[in-house]
């Protein structure tokens, strides 16, 4: 495969660092790797394939000569540089939420809608991490019979708030073990030994911005414009890997046995579903890898066409960095 020039915007953040690691792991055909960040990081070095690469300050000229730019920065940074990236002739695969609901921008999970990559005009959006974990888990079911509704509860790891999230969790645990106080900085309340049932600010009828993403993004990814989702997002004292409980209803009834068969064969999924032997998805088992584990599949007791399932996936890898690089791999095939 012909090598391409790749840039990472926001290279020093948690997702940017993971992107560097995954480019190495997947042997992405990198000719040049350009690491871009703020002025305060410029001149520092990061390693790629055993060699140090100097970080450059992100500016409008920094993208010239690149074929692909992986976005690992916040919304305002993505919006600030998107035009410059496209004008430079690069394809911008952006992990922020800035362009996800733009009708002109494809929103892609490669296991689900890879064909949408071809519709891009220079920008391709990477979905929200919980959206990726959930849609990969249920995609095989909606192909069997379209999903009409989902009632979802997510149990989101502290690393979903960035590298500072797990550090705060660990610092609180240490302080509490010594009988000391710790003033939270990353989360609004103590996260150690606690759960916080709010991620994001209120957006719609008491639902937060994080909770609305699964419906709004899921409709676009799954090509289900009428999909209805009621979601509750909870921050939990877990370091890495999000967990999601899903009650879904389909147009036609799917049996538990058929659902297990479909998920066992689904790209990006692993069936882990043996209650008698205590086999089910857990964050510890799904961290630092890219497969979504799915289990606890059972009939819903309130709806004849309902199924319950539980899934877990690493939100830093498959929920962010790996999914973006998988999109970039599809782009490379078109260059």
What pLDDT score was predicted for residue 183? 96
What is the per-residue DSSP string for 224-266? -TT-EEEEEEEE-S-SS-EEEEEEEEESS---HHHHHHHHHHS
Calpha distance 165→186 (Å, rounded): 6
Checking if the pLDDT of 257 tops 90, the result is yes
pLDDT higher than 70, residue 1: no
pLDDT digits (tens, 9 = 90+) for 269-327: 999 999 999 999 999 999 999 999 999 999 999 999 999 999 999 999 999 999 999 99
- Cα–Cα distance, 91 to 331 (Å, whole number): 8
Tell me, what DSSP letter sits at residue 116? G
Residue 164, pLDDT score? 95
Catalytic residues, by residue number, are 129, 242
pLDDT at 89: 97
- CA distance to 152, 191, 194, 224, 326, per residue, from 161 (Å): 20, 12, 16, 29, 23
Cβ atoms 79, 91 nearer than 8 A: no
> Which class in CATH covers the domain with range 131-319?
alpha beta
Segment 49-78 shows an average pLDDT of: 97
pTM strictly above 0.85? yes
Domain range list for the chain: 4-127+320-334, 131-319
Nearest CA to 124 out of 162, 96, 160, 88 is that of 96
- Mean pLDDT within 35-56: 96
**pLDDT reported for residue 334:** 85
| pLDDT number for residue 264 | 98
CA distance 264 to 266: 6
Question: Which superfamily, per CATH, for 4-127+320-334?
Answer: NAD(P)-binding Rossmann-like Domain (3.40.50.720)
| Percent of the chain's residues with pLDDT above 90 | 99
Q: How far is CA 100 from CA 76, 96, 125, in A?
A: 14, 8, 5
| pLDDT at res. 140 | 98
pLDDT greater than 80 at residue 335? no
Where residue 2 falls among pLDDT bands split at 50, 70, 90? confident
Stated as kind and residue range, the H or E segment containing 42 is none
User: In sequence order, what are the beta bridge partners of 213?
Assistant: none
Q: Are 222 and 250 in contact (CB under 8 A)?
A: no
Distance between CA atoms of residues 242 and 26, nearest Å: 23
């Amino acid at each position: 495969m012909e090598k391409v020039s790749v840039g990472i915007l926001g290279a020093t953040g948690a997702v940017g660092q993971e992107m560097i690691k995954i480019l190495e792991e997947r042997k992405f055909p990198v000719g040049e790797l350009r690491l871009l960040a703020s002025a305060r990081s410029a001149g520092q070095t990061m390693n790629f394939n055993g060699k140090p690469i100097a970080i450059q300050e992100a500016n409008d000229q920094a993208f010239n000569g690149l074929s692909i730019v992986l976005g690992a920065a916040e919304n305002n940074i993505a919006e600030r540089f998107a035009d410059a990236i496209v004008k430079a002739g690069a394809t911008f695969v952006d992990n922020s939420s800035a362009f996800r609901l733009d009708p002109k921008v494809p929103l892609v999970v490669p296991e689900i809608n890879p064909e949408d990559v071809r519709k891009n005009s220079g920008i391709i959006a990477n979905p929200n991490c919980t959206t990726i974990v959930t849609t990969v888990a249920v995609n095989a079911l909606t192909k069997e019979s379209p999903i009409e509704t989902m009632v979802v509860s997510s149990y989101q790891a502290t690393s979903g708030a960035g590298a500072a999230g797990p550090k705060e969790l660990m610092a609180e645990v240490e302080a509490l073990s010594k009988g000391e106080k710790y003033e939270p900085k990353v989360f609004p309340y103590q996260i150690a030994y606690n759960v916080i049932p709010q991620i994001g600010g209120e957006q719609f009828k008491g639902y937060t911005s994080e909770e609305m993403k699964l419906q709004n993004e899921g409709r676009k990814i799954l090509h289900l414009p009428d999909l209805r989702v009621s979601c509750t997002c909870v921050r939990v004292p877990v370091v890495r890997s999000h967990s999601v409980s899903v009650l879904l209803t389909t147009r036609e009834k799917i049996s538990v046995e058929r659902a297990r068969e479909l998920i066992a064969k689904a790209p990006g999924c692993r069936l882990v579903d043996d209650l008698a032997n205590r086999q089910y998805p857990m964050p510890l088992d799904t961290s630092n890898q890219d497969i979504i584990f799915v289990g606890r599949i059972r009939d819903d007791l309130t709806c004849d066409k309902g199924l319950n399932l539980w899934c877990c996936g690493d939100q830093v890898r498959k929920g962010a960095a790996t999914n973006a690089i998988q999109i970039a791999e599809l782009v490379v095939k078109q260059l």
